[in-house]
Amino acid sequence: MSTRRILALSGGVGGAKLCLGLQEALAPGQLQVIANTADDFNHLGLRICPDIDTLLYTLSGLSDPERGWGRAGESWTVLESLGELGGDTWFQLGDKDLATHLYRTHQLDQGGTLTEVTQALAQQMGVTARIFPMSDSPVATRVFSDEGKLPFQEYFVARRCEPRVTDFEFEGLASAGVSARLARAMADQTPDLVIVCPSNPFVSIDPILGVPGMRSLLDALQVPVVAVSPIVSGMAIKGPAAKMMEELGMPVTASGVAQHYGQQHPGLLDAFVIDESDATLVADCESTGVEVHVMPTVMRSLGDKQALADRLIALCATGTAD
């Protein structure tokens, strides 16, 4: 078990897998995660934070590994009853999952911040990593597409990512800020390495990095920043990243991701990790000005997750600092 400290930037499923590997590989409390909240939305009066919940369920062992989202042993009584009453059922709300949303919504109504509520949930679920929402202010992704401007969950769940995307907008991002608790944690418990998880660059990582103040806090750490490509062999392991790249006219490759980060977040990355199946792309990726590491990045088993985590942690010593 490493005594290193890691700060990870994460979206939902793909990021959460790596975070689980990191949590297992590090001493308790040595993993800090900044979670994307731009997917968050209000549904049936509930505040739903899909990426935070995926992180909570994955890191606590409560997640359903078969289905890939939500909680294991889930039941659907409320949703079925709601359907019988003529209520909205397009968003799959399991009974156990619903308890999380009820708890969160109530605590927010009582004046708690999303950071406080998230850390209370993490503690109750036995998560040892410290999960921070990217901001306590609501941010809402809108997807510009050939079907017009869609709220993210409508694009993602109701329309199953079928519309062709042209751009994204993050409502509320310009006026959001990093929570005092996260800023203090970054300053007081400086990580040895920042990892940009293999999450969707457009709708998970870009909004995190777009929170006013986030980039300068990361720069001030003066530690290596390494991103793991979510694109492997021209495909996204999970989610619409590859489809989005194609629709945006970008090369659907790990180097396409490296170029995107280089253009959108110049000077951020010190290193870029690509899968061993993409070894031919090293030079392409290096041309964006980063050191490139090739390793197995596909995480099927817990062993895969821990192995990738171990290899990334090893970069703490060898990574190129600013």
Pick from 1, 3, 66, 84 the residue near a copy of itself by CB under 8 A.
84
Q: How far apart are CA 281 and CA 286, in angstroms?
A: 9
Name the DSSP letter for residue 260.
H
Pick from 9, 13, 35, 98 the residue near a copy of itself by CB under 8 A.
98
Pick from 22, 25, 52, 121 the residue near a copy of itself by CB under 8 A.
121
The two structure tokens encoding residue 173: 């991002």
Quick check: 64 binds a copy of itself (CB under 8 A)? no
Quick check: 217 binds a copy of itself (CB under 8 A)? no
Pick from 92, 124, 175, 190 the residue near a copy of itself by CB under 8 A.
124
Pick from 82, 217, 248, 294 the residue near a copy of itself by CB under 8 A.
82
Pick from 102, 158, 235, 317 the residue near a copy of itself by CB under 8 A.
102
DSSP reduced 3-state for 23: helix
Q: Are 245 and 231 in contact (CB under 8 A)?
A: yes
Q: Are 168 and 203 in contact (CB under 8 A)?
A: yes
| Span from 14-22, 76-84, 198-206, 274-282 in contact with a copy of itself (CB under 8 A) | 76-84
Q: At closest approach, how far in Å is the CB of 67 from a copy of itself?
A: 17
Q: At closest approach, how far in Å is the CB of 151 from a copy of itself?
A: 16
Strands of the chain (E only): list them: 6-10, 31-35, 41-43, 46-48, 130-133, 140-145, 148-151, 165-171, 193-196, 225-228, 231-232, 235-236, 271-275, 291-295
Q: Which residues contact 223 (CB under 8 A, 6 or more apart)?
A: 190, 191, 192, 193, 194, 321, 322
Q: At closest approach, how far in Å is the CB of 93 from a copy of itself?
A: 9
Quick check: 219 binds a copy of itself (CB under 8 A)? no
Q: At closest approach, how far in Å is the CB of 46 from a copy of itself?
A: 8
Q: What is the largest CA-CA distance in the chain?
A: 59
| Span from 88-96, 128-136, 162-170, 296-304 in contact with a copy of itself (CB under 8 A) | 88-96
Q: How far apart are CA 312 and CA 190, in angstroms?
A: 17
Q: How far apart are CA 4 and CA 304, in angstroms?
A: 20
Pick from 37, 63, 100, 199 the residue near a copy of itself by CB under 8 A.
100
DSSP 190-230: --SEEEE-SS-IIIIIHHHHHSTTHHHHHHHH-S-EEEE-S
The two structure tokens encoding residue 120: 């209370």
Pick from 65, 67, 68, 75 the residue near a copy of itself by CB under 8 A.
75
Of 94 and 256, which has the nearer Cβ to a copy of itself?
94
Quick check: 77 binds a copy of itself (CB under 8 A)? yes
Quick check: 106 binds a copy of itself (CB under 8 A)? yes
Q: How far apart are CA 29 and CA 117, in angstroms?
A: 18
Chain residues in the site for a copy of itself (CB under 8 A): 44-46, 75, 77-82, 84-88, 95-96, 98-100, 102-103, 105-106, 109, 120-121, 124-125
